[in-house]
Structure 1
């Protein structure tokens, strides 16, 4: 008997060990086969300046993108691998459950299928750029095998790079606000619309369901994980000043993007130049072969997130078996596909099978409330890769506008300026061509084909302002109507409400309108002062929150009474000079997020209680200086940080460290001041630019001198020069290498 039990136990142990071994090794073999681009010779020179910023030069444009990938890998190969894993549906094998959620969306949106359907029709020069970029990544991986996180992740090819765009682009305009609640079976948020100042946010129910009561959002924001996917919360500021409004007749442009400081949508600065005439300074994201914003010799632009209603949700009528849905009185098969999600759990990778669905509307999510189809702008398109390239190659306003008119980039505002003195604001959006009549702000019937829109509205219906009389343009993630200030506004009545253009304002927008309108002329110093403004207007969610806290009856709660009295004396600036700054910045963070994400307001008493309790626990007082509480931290660098969420000097969100400090992780990121100063003859001369980032060029390389070398300048509101011309680069070069294959 004992011998039999031993044999059974030994067999079970062997089975367990076999299963564990399989879970240790199966994922790379089950992954799609990796394929390299067609063989081709590439060569690029990477020259780094005193801040480690790479200047990539090649004979051809594909040589340049080859060098872009290699240089970026030298500085942040870790994040690039995460992005590559996303383009293969394998990120869960690196990041566990959080990564598997992204893999599920990758399959739900059919990102790879989109590429497979359209890649061959891409212009040959764009495909060559993507293959060049992929080849640069492959070369770095080959030379540094010890850094590779996931077996069989390389080689990659141009299709892999394109798939990353198909996956991530829709999340810039907030596709997550539809997919997230649907997957969780929760009510959808309301659509964009104005809320009266000083009054509670309205009912946020969307689509017929009753909105449940929600607790206050978790203040502070969790762990230090880097963000790989963009969200609608990723904001920005942009300013353009025409010669007529500047003090010295100079055209100026300020790019002030607000992105996470680490991860797949963190900016990476670079300067590119090819012998084919491609010359551009700016910044890009991991996984992109070229810059998304910045300038060439004659023109420049920047972007801010806009939030038009580019998504519609449809409730499907399924048959009893759940395999067909009704459309115009007929039953159509509901497409379904089983997908495998790898989910890392410690050293093991667990296989999880999920089913993704699709109808003629688009992706379908089935939850306890039914089946819901989602249709969104830019669906089944990847030609934004073509448009971005044409934008960066344009040398005149007309050519730049022609590229933008492709309407392949489904969202994001563009603010433009050029050497000739033109400034422009384009509310860029692939606005759905909806029929007038249906209530597009709610869940739509899914059994009517006439409610399925096709393609964007014509380019002439997209809001634009070119060379306004005010002499300035701006955007801070607000409605486009006020982009040029009083007297030069767009008339909302000229645009159909079915376009879904947002009408709300951010605090940054209110401050920008006020400060720009009151400043004349707007010279270099004035523009810098406006950009670094730390003020709040007592309006919108700020007024509602402060008024609600002031009206609380806190009898018998001495800590809250003291916090209430301190907040009443706040001067509405997050500059570190008022004793209430830290308390106010902490209290306003969650209302800011709720307002921006169209969610119900958090409980004001809970906000006051959390912030005051935290300050007392970690600082022993309610009024510690803001700079003691809010920090910029990278390795051994630990510096005070001013600003607040939704100020023009943005410190949007932070992690709470063990010592109670707020370690800023999102806000002002890549900042660039661009101008075309006049020469001795009175004509605009060569472009000049300055820039800064929160950390440095090598954000994930602690051993690098450029891991955090820009941080002291960043917290001090200072910029560094951009080395744009070959002569300037050569004069300040600290390293030079040639890579080739």
Structure 2
């Protein structure tokens, strides 16, 4: 047996600077004004004070979730909570996340390291003062340190969004990060002559590391309103009185998997046999009786990176881009501090954020779409080539550089007056099209197909007169299905001409439906059921369209029915299936589809994004006679950079996940009514709606 170096799974206390405490002097003298929707408005006299207050606020609103996430990010979740988390811990340990997080923390500027410590100290201060409000099972994670905050960000960005275990080892096309919508409208396209900005991420509704939190942060050089994911100390979606920015998930290929060719004593590389480097690693797993079992494993690595076995028996190595770039959090903070386009561009030019489209707008009238991310440079190959494991026995596939900001697809101030993204590739980020895919490496992004939600996004911005703020809001909440617009004008006459009474009845039902997923819609459930038979795999299969998607006609395709007999058979089957699932073919959409959290239970609206619905709701399976969202509308903000500013928004599932909080479901009525809250950005406005004040 070889001698092995044993590396602990734990981020040891010696790896990190001493934790700040709630008594840290630089964090003194601030306050949190909690408004009537549970939104914390943090006011601080120092930069570290902003972070302290924000940490305290997150602990009050999401304490159980927050501490659990930090326990997971330490790669100690199995030690705390049992075998359920063993695979997650092992994945993080195998990829050196604990050790790298400590290095990244140490590489921050002294000021930003103090900020991370202050955020952690705020969490600890809340826990010390309100221990009884927290689940006893998460208290063992305390105290939180600045390095834990960095570890959570590192895990989320690099090993969930970029290189999750599922995506790397099982399914390269897996998307565990959800989707989003984003719009920026320039003064030339708006009725007021002012810039408009929409932030609209779509993520799971169940509490997780993808849960959003709304906040307003104020201190030296910062007055930023927006949202972020629980556990992050910065806002990922935000606006100040001069500018704003939002993100959507993009398809950037931030990692490469390599198929290794095993040889006696190691693996083949450039005609030679190289030995694996092997390190012993371990983690602890809590047993049902409370004892801890140490699980040890050997982690191999190759010239490319750590080595893993896939479920189908292959041996692959993993190389993740950006592991030498520790500035993701500080870049977001700089983006929020920016006061104009020049300052904002300086921040994003750092390219520390490993993925996400960035959509931006400002008071001066600039708008931007950026296909942002840390993208490896390859000598050749297209997106499909590099999205799957490539040959690992040659240095020809071993990249050593990444693309800079100037290489990335972007659209700044287009003549159209708008930019948009709905998780589609960058090419139709405005219309008429500005970006030419031929001018970029083929691995940057696929050419298509463009989703029908993305097509609807473009159509909503391009159609009609100049867009007023009221128009902006109305377009945002439309539940119209582009797929229905395209297919029902052909399907209904076919069914009407049938000799089958059931098909004739279905035709009448669909003909009377206005193609919108609203509570009183009686044809929506039948269409949705038929559409999934017509276009399986989450409404994405194109084989039954007469004309599939075309890059030459990106906003008009796919369209048409290829086989009339087949689609009628699908409609017949859909009638039976709709009756089985929902009790009646013509059941009102809102009787079945509910916005139900806690004691609040309201008729729902919105539909599956891939049916071309911009107001996205991914409805879960039927349970107890209804279905509820599992994913979709979460944080929304809409801003007009006028004088005064207009800002409205919503956090669909509320701004707290703590048991007993009245802010878990207090915004569902707005969601059901397709209305929004005024976002209080001025202190005078905030003070009129204060529910609670916290001094620190």
TM-score tier after normalising by the smaller chain length: 0.7 to 0.9
Quote the residue 2:356 is aligned against. 412
Quote the residue 1:669 is aligned against. 634
Per-residue CA deviation, residues 396-417 of structure 1 (Å, 9 max, x unaligned), is 1111011101111111111111
Compute the TM-score of the two structures, normalised by the length of structure 2: 0.84
Matches within 5 A, 1:724-735: 724-735=681-692
The match for 1:499 among 429, 439, 444 is 444
Per-residue CA deviation, residues 318-370 of structure 1 (Å, 9 max, x unaligned), is 2335x555455241324343332536769787765554443232232113532
Q: Is the 8 A contact 1:298 1:687 kept in 2?
A: no
Quote the residue 1:403 is aligned against. 347
Quote the residue 1:682 is aligned against. none
Distance, in Å, in 2 between the alignment partners of 1:600 and 1:33 is 55
The match for 1:708 among 661, 665, 685 is 665
1:589 deviates by 6.7
1:118 deviates by 3.2
Q: Is the 8 A contact 1:259 1:667 kept in 2?
A: yes
Quote the residue 1:634 is aligned against. 597
1:85 deviates by 1.2
**Which stretch has the larger CA shift, 649-658 or 468-477?**
649-658
Q: Is the 8 A contact 2:241 2:641 kept in 1?
A: no
Matches within 5 A, 1:358-507: 358-367=301-310, 368-436=312-380, 439-440=385-386, 442-486=388-432, 488-501=433-446, 503-507=448-452
Matched, 1:659 2:634: no
Distance, in Å, in 1 between the alignment partners of 2:542 and 2:60 is 41
1:133 deviates by 0.8
Quote the residue 2:33 is aligned against. 47
Q: Is the 8 A contact 1:49 1:733 kept in 2?
A: yes
Quote the residue 1:265 is aligned against. 210
Count of residues in Structure 1 that have an aligned counterpart in Structure 2: 648
Matched, 1:531 2:476: yes
Q: Specify the SS of the correspondent of 1:132.
A: helix
Matched, 1:239 2:183: yes
Distance, in Å, in 2 between the alignment partners of 1:46 and 1:607 is 57
Distance, in Å, in 2 between the alignment partners of 1:535 and 1:348 is 56
Distance, in Å, in 2 between the alignment partners of 1:626 and 1:93 is 45
Q: Is the 8 A contact 1:55 1:270 kept in 2?
A: yes
**Which stretch has the larger CA shift, 347-356 or 398-407?**
347-356
Matched, 1:720 2:666: no
1:87 deviates by 1.2
Distance, in Å, in 1 between the alignment partners of 2:261 and 2:440 is 33
Matched, 1:163 2:126: no
**Which stretch has the larger CA shift, 307-316 or 564-573?**
564-573
1:568 deviates by 8.4
Q: Is the 8 A contact 2:476 2:615 kept in 1?
A: no
Quote the residue 1:201 is aligned against. none
Q: Specify the SS of the correspondent of 1:309.
A: coil
1:252 deviates by 0.9
Higher RCO structure, 1 or 2 (CA under 8 Å, sep 6+): 1
Q: Specify the SS of the correspondent of 2:121.
A: helix
Question: Runs of 5+ in structure 1 lacking a partner?
Answer: 1-28, 191-230, 678-684
Distance, in Å, in 1 between the alignment partners of 2:568 and 2:203 is 30
Per-residue CA deviation, residues 248-274 of structure 1 (Å, 9 max, x unaligned), is 212111111112223221111100101
Distance, in Å, in 1 between the alignment partners of 2:19 and 2:62 is 22
Distance 1:181 1:415, change over 3 A: closer
Compute the TM-score of the two structures, normalised by the length of structure 1: 0.79
Distance 1:75 1:188, change over 3 A: closer
Question: Runs of 5+ in structure 2 lacking a partner?
Answer: 1-7, 545-565
The match for 1:76 among 45, 62, 86 is 62
The match for 1:580 among 517, 520, 523 is 523
The match for 1:688 among 646, 653, 677 is 646
| RMSD of aligned Cα (Å) | 3.6
1:526 deviates by 1.8
Q: Is the 8 A contact 2:107 2:326 kept in 1?
A: no
Distance 1:118 1:52, change over 3 A: closer
Distance 1:608 1:143, change over 3 A: farther
Per-residue CA deviation, residues 468-500 of structure 1 (Å, 9 max, x unaligned), is 1111111111121111212x5212221121334
**Which stretch has the larger CA shift, 123-132 or 400-409?**
123-132
Distance, in Å, in 1 between the alignment partners of 2:128 and 2:257 is 45
Q: Is the 8 A contact 1:46 1:57 kept in 2?
A: yes
Q: Specify the SS of the correspondent of 2:137.
A: coil
1:613 deviates by 6.5
1:428 deviates by 0.9
Q: Is the 8 A contact 2:654 2:667 kept in 1?
A: yes
Per-residue CA deviation, residues 361-410 of structure 1 (Å, 9 max, x unaligned), is 22321135321112233235332112111111111111101110111111
Distance, in Å, in 2 between the alignment partners of 1:163 and 1:592 is 41
Distance, in Å, in 2 between the alignment partners of 1:592 and 1:128 is 52
Matches within 5 A, 1:21-420: 37-38=19-20, 40-41=24-25, 42-43=27-28, 44-92=30-78, 98-146=84-132, 147=134, 148-150=136-138, 152-170=140-158, 173=161, 175-176=163-164, 179-180=165-166, 183=169, 188-189=172-173, 231-261=175-205, 262-274=207-219, 276-321=220-265, 323=266, 326=269, 329-340=272-283, 342=285, 352-367=295-310, 368-420=312-364
Quote the residue 2:3 is aligned against. none
